[in-house]
Chain A
C-alpha cells in the first residue's frame, strides 16, 4: 500500500472528491507542475479511479438504480488524473490518458517521445499511476493474480508458487529535449504482446542490437520479476541475452505488482544514486552503470522494454 502524504498544494475543496489514484497522481505531479511550465500532460493508468467506479456501481445496486450521487461517476473515468492535474494548474495544452493495461505507461512514454519530436522545444509531464482498491484487488484475486499464501516481500523471489503481491504507486517525470541538468536520457521504448518467451527473447535481442552498437554494453538490466512462477520463463529468456558484464536487478519487492509498475522502475533508475543490495539478483562486472535496460511484463502477455542512459552514471551496489 502506498503511504500517502498530506498533499500540500491541493485545496481541500478539490481533494475531498478525489479517489486514491487521483490523489497519488496529483501528489506526485504537483512538485513538477508547480516549478515548471509544462506544455501538456500524458498519463498512463490501467484503471484510473477504480475505487470510485465501483463505489458508483455499488450505489446502483444498493439503491436499485434510484437517486444516485454523481460524484463517484464523474471521478470514475480513468482520465480523471490527467484532467485534475490540468484543472488544478489551468493547463489547456495536450492532455491524454493511456489505459492499455500493462503497457499504459509504455504507451504514454511513446506518446511523449513523439510529442518531443513534433515539438522539440516543448516539455511535458509524463506519469504512471495505479491504485489498489478493495475492488480491483478482489477481481484480480479471483483471477489468480496473487499468492494464496502469506509472504514477506523479502521472500518474493524465492517463492515457487503462482501469483505475486499486489502493489500501487505513482511516478511522474518532466520530459524534454534539453540534456542540461537531465537526470536520465530515455532512448527508446518498445512493446510486444505475446505469451511465448522465445518471442520475447527475439524481440529484446533485436531491441538491443538497434539500441546498443557493438562497442557498448548493457550495464544494468532491471526486470519486473515478481515471484509468479508462471511469468519467470519470460524473465529467464530475457536474462539469457546478457553476459557477466551486466548486473541484473529487480524492483517489485519494493512496490508490488500493478499495471504501470514500470513507471516506478524508471523512477528508481533516475533517482537512485546507487543500487541497494536487496535489488541485485546477479552482480555484474560493470563498474559504473550507464546503459540500462528495463524489461517488464504484465501477466505474461504485455511486454515492455526501455533503454535509458545515465549521464552521471549510477554506482553499482555498495
Chain B
C-alpha cells in the first residue's frame, strides 16, 4: 500500500474509532498534533488508538507511555505502522 493511501485509511479509521463524527479525513493534517492542541484528544483516546493499532495492524504496544511517542501525529503513526505491522 502506498504511504499516502495508508494515511488516508488511518484517518478514516481514527474518525470511526473515536467517533469524531464532526470531522472528515481532510480535516486532519498529517503533521497536526493528535493530543493537546490540534485534535485535542485525551488519555482515554490514546488507549483507544493503541487498541486500533492492535486490531487493524496487529501491532502490540504494552506501555501506554511508549504509545505516546508513536501517537504524535499522522506521520509518526504511519511510519510506525509501516515498520511494525503484522497484518
Contact = CB atoms under 8 A, between A and B. Distances in A.
Nearest to B21: A16
A7 to B, nearest CB: 12
On chain A, which size bracket covers the interface? 10 to 19
Contacts of B48: 69-71
B21 A74 contact: no
Interface residues of B, number: 14
A166 to B, nearest CB: 25
Nearest to B18: A16
B51 A68 contact: yes
B47 A12 contact: no
B22 interface: yes
Contacts of A74: 44
A67 interface: yes
Contact of A67 (B17, B19, B54): B54
Interface in A1-36: 12-13, 16-17
B11 to A, nearest CB: 16
B22 A12 contact: yes
B47 A17 contact: no
A67 to B, nearest CB: 5
B20 A69 contact: no
Given A70-B44, A71-B44, A74-B44, A12 B21 contact: yes
Interface in B1-39: 17-22
B21 A67 contact: no
A70 B48 CA distance: 7
* Most B C-beta atoms less than 10 A away, residue of A69, A70, A71, A74: A69
B44 A16 contact: no
Contacts of A67: 50-51, 54-55
Contact of A16 (B19, B50, B54): B19
A268 B32 CA distance: 49
A13 B40 contact: yes
Contacts of B55: 67
A301 B80 CA distance: 58
Interface in A51-68: 67-68
A283 B28 CA distance: 62
B84 to A, nearest CB: 15
Contacts of B40: 13
Interface of A: 12-13, 16-17, 67-71, 74
Interface of B: 17-22, 40, 44, 47-48, 50-51, 54-55
13 contacts: A12-B20, A12-B21, A12-B22, A16-B18, A17-B44, A67-B50, A67-B54, A68-B51, A69-B17, A70-B47, A71-B44, A71-B48, A74-B44
